[in-house]
Structure 1
Amino acid sequence: MEYAVLGWPPDGPKLRLDYRQFSYAGKFVMSNTGKAVAREDQELLGALAFNEDRTDETTLWLRYVTVRGDRRGEGIGASLVSFVTEVAHERGYETVKIAVNNPFAYEAVWKAGFGYTGEQTGIAELVCAHPGTRTQARYQDGLDVYRAREGLSAEERSFLARKAAAQPPK
């Protein structure tokens, strides 16, 4: 697997993704965000858009992460998040943040080294940060937020039930 940053904000490149294969495809045609990709044998498998925090130049926000539909669940998203986070820290960003809206994304960013901050955005996303607090209690706190939500899919409910009292992923 090859990971690459294609450009940094505000002059990030536009990236055209097939909306049938990638969630959030339309978000990658904006030019004011940085972009990174995951490729295998020249084939695009994942993409990530990011930008600097508007009020804190030491913080980078990961905005959109998408993995091709037929390759989800293989750890590509978590690896891409980890790669961009490492590069961001090398560029001098002290903190990298991401807001996630479902328990699967929460699990993926935890695997990438993020911890739940205890904060939520106005659109029901949990804010996770790197570096961040990574205890079992904090991990379960984030899962509890999802458990309290209405309208979860059967797959989400099953996932959350399996994770009850579980240790955080490494």
Structure 2
Amino acid sequence: MEFALLGWPDDEHPLRLDYREFAYAGKFVMTSTGKAVVGDDGVVAAAAFDDDRTDSDTLCIRYITVRRDRQGEGLGPRLLRFVRERARERGYERVTIAANNPYSYEASYRAGFCFTGEEAGIAELTLEWPGDRSTERYQSGLSVFSERDLSADEGAFLAAKLDSEPPAVVDPPG
């Protein structure tokens, strides 16, 4: 599995993904975001990111998607960790991402992100790196999801995580 940074926001790099295989596929055609991908024989996961509009020391991961047939393999957290490490090397002091469901929240935690205690956008929880990885902070984000209308699978996933410690951070790719 190969992880690659295709470019930073100023590099104007579009990425075409099949909308039948990837959620948010249309968001990756934009040239105003940086892109990173995971691939073996073609792209299996992708991330799009740009500078925070109010803090030049912060990189915002806007979208992450994993091909439907490869979900559940840990590619999302590993790609997030990859982007986070490239951002740190580039001089960013902080990286953020917003999660709108328990799965993306957990994946972000596995990449080393932490709930800030803030919500953004439409029902999105803001996570950051570096941050407070305490059990209390982790559980406070999960409790926000527990108050929402979730699918049966999301509800079962969330129920299994309540009263647990934050997940371990995945090893960096490569």
TM-score of the superposed pair, with normalisation by structure 2: 0.95
> Share of identical aligned residues, percent?
58
The DSSP-based 3-state class of the residue aligned with 2:15 is coil
- Deviation string, structure 1 residues 23-54 (Cα, Å, up to 9, x no partner): 000000000000000011x3210000000011
1:92 maps to 91
1:145 maps to 144
C-alpha deviation, 1:55, in angstroms: 1.3
Amino acid at match of 1:157: G
What is the correspondence of 1:43-82 to structure 2 with a 5 Å cutoff? 43-82=42-81
Amino acid at match of 1:141: S
What is the correspondence of 1:103-122 to structure 2 with a 5 Å cutoff? 103-122=102-121
1:7 maps to 7
TM-score of the superposed pair, with normalisation by structure 1: 0.97
Amino acid at match of 2:112: G
C-alpha deviation, 1:130, in angstroms: 0.4
Of 142, 155, 167, the match for 1:169:
167
C-alpha deviation, 1:10, in angstroms: 2.7
Amino acid at match of 1:34: G
- Deviation string, structure 1 residues 69-104 (Cα, Å, up to 9, x no partner): 000011001000000000000000000000110000
Amino acid at match of 2:150: L
Aligned residues: 168
Higher relative contact order (CA 8 A, sep 6+): 2
Deviating 4+ runs (over 2 angstroms) = none
Q: Are 1:6 and 1:12, in contact at CA under 8 Å, matched by a contact in 2?
A: no
Distance in structure 2 (CA, Å) of the matches to 1:168 and 1:55: 29
Distance in structure 2 (CA, Å) of the matches to 1:85 and 1:132: 13
Distance in structure 2 (CA, Å) of the matches to 1:2 and 1:26: 23
Distance in structure 1 (CA, Å) of the matches to 2:12 and 2:103: 27
